[in-house]
Amino acid sequence: MTLEELRALPLLEGLDDGRLQDLLDVAIEVVAAPGQVLWSAGEPADGWWVLLDGAVDLVRLTGRDEIAIGAMRSPGMWAGGLRAWDETGVYLVTGRVAEDTRMLRLDAALLRELLQRWFALGVHLMDGLSRTIRSVEATARQRESLVALGTLAAGLAHEINNPAAAATRAVDSLTETVEQLAASVATLSSTLTDGERLVRLAMLRDELDTAPVARDPIAAADAEDELADWLEGNGVGDGWRLAPALTAAGADPAWCERVLAEAGRDGLAAALTWMTGALAARAMLGELSESTRRISDLVGAVKSYSQMDRSARQRVDVREGLESSLTVLGHKLHPGLEVVRDYAPGTSIDGYPGELNQVWTNLLDNAIDVMPGIGTLRVSTSAEGEAVVVEIADTGGGMPPEVVARAFEAFYTTKDVGKGTGLGLDIARRIIEERHGGEIFLDSSPDGTTVRVRLPLRAG
């Protein structure tokens, strides 16, 4: 590499011999053979490459396919060096040598020093442009994330509100029922002279606990009318109120005759009120238990989803992440949507669970959104060699080819502002491929869309 060779490059036109010599003093010449990779997409762009002669293909891996983005064929074409003005810059494509090639390579830090010395204003403008682009992108992403966070928070509030409201109703009803139980026990104890009768009445009540009867609506209504008539005929004034609960629990006139034999006519109403109250209290306690369990499960799912109190990289159960993501999106799982789970055993990998959960949420949210009416959401995991494969499929009618072709492009979306999770498929792809060494594929047809994610079992 000589001064005359640098002077002939169109890229360096206008530089005097002093500046060309400065460049020659700090740059190195790289000689490469066909097939050699000079730089790889996603790696820090800390080298500035200038073609002296030969050819370099610029490619990028999309799913399993390597796509040709461009080529360097003319001397003076350059690539990389982004870290001269952007400390987070990475190579956007991979440079693979196509024929015997000579390249000039200069460290990005040295490039910045030269540019600062030669074109201070130009470096200042590049710095400002880079910061502006990053600021605009960060602000837009932050806004999208806040909107998405608000949507998820509202959905979780809705999910938690339902069991919380049910628990509140159960507590209110239970308070009233306990008061009625106390009154009925007081009345019953004043009419019974034999304590063993109370024990036998309790045994009769337990028969109802263990023998619920399922009837069609017409048969149930006839049974209630029959029991209400019997109660009224035996002096129970509010038999119409007790009959539905007793009938639902399996009571009939024959059973009531046995209660009458133990409680007597004077204690019959109090005995039946006590029994129905006990049954109601037990049902309310069950509802209260189920409601609080549901709240606890939701809190646990949110904790798993957010990965609170856990290290960044760890052993991850993919199924747990998928389930917690489904829970977070529970408010969007409308009645017309069927969720089919097909989880294989052995789905633990090394990874970043918080980031993976963001990916699952984004993919699931996309699938749910394309099925506003009736549809099937299939979530499956399987083992494939030394990897775990996750598939999220919908029956939403598929995507046009032009959308599929651009689905993984940065900033590309088909959703309106404020819709979705704020996490584009481009970022999801980066999390899968760059953070976990995996692959993500998209297959769409008129029958629906399937997103396939392949994650290695062990960290590379």
3-state secondary structure 30-65: EEECCCCEEECCCCECCEEEEEEEEEEEEEEEECCE
Q: Which residues contact 159 (CB under 8 A, 6 or more apart)?
A: 298, 327, 330, 331
DSSP 8-class letter at 83? G
Interior/surface letters 341-364, b for 16+ CB within 10 angstroms, e for the rest: eeeeeebebbbbbbbbbbbbbbbb
Predicted pLDDT of residue 422 = 40
Question: Which CATH superfamily does the domain covering 3-118 fall into?
Answer: Jelly Rolls (2.60.120.10)
Which of helix, strand or coil describes residue 123?
Answer: helix
φ, ψ at 371 (rounded to 5°)? -125, 65
Domain at 311-456: CATH architecture: 2-Layer Sandwich (3.30)
Which of helix, strand or coil describes residue 410?
Answer: coil
Predicted pLDDT of residue 304 = 57
82: tokens are 């982004």
Q: Which residues contact 72 (CB under 8 A, 6 or more apart)?
A: 51, 55, 56, 58, 79, 95
Domain segments of the chain: what residues? 3-118, 154-298, 311-456
d(C-alpha 200, C-alpha 206), whole Å: 10
All residue ranges of the chain with pLDDT < 50 are 210-211, 308-311, 416-422
Predicted pLDDT of residue 380 = 94
Q: Which residues pair with 153 in a beta bridge?
A: none
140: tokens are 């837009």
d(C-alpha 437, C-alpha 428), whole Å: 13
Predicted pLDDT of residue 200 = 84
Q: How many CB atoms lie within 10 A of CB 103?
A: 25
Two domains, one topology: 3-118 and 311-456: no
